[in-house]
Amino acid sequence: MRFLNAKDEEELNIMAETLPKIKEAATLLKNLSKNKKIRAAYEQREQEIRDELMRMNSAERKGIKIGKQEKTIEIAKSLLSFGVDINIISKILD
């Protein structure tokens, strides 16, 4: 992905001359950039991917939160079974 960080087209051309895969990628990138329909479809797909990642991250955070709540309840029940006062448990787990 180094070619995407090229400062200008001249630098990109120098990289393309030395590495065939970069030349191939640069040519493909130029062709895709010229076609508005393809570029719009690409940008839409990229947005869909970002949206899906956001949904997954949100679900993961929610799952972690639920897991912590369940663990807190489990600890409280365990402490209660040992006869620990509910007020002390509340202070410990708050």
Q: How confident is the model over 63-86, as pLDDT tens digits?
A: 999 999 999 999 999 999 999 999
The residue among 92 and 10 whose pLDDT is bigger is: 92
The fraction of the chain above a pLDDT of 70, given in percent, is: 87
Q: At residue 7, does pLDDT exceed 70?
A: no
Question: What does each C-alpha distance from 64 to 21, 52, 58, 69, 72 come to in angstroms?
Answer: 42, 18, 10, 9, 12
Tens digit of each residue's pLDDT (9 = 90 or more) over 17-31? 777 787 787 777 777
pTM surpassing 0.75?
no
Between residues 41 and 65, which one has the greater pLDDT? 65
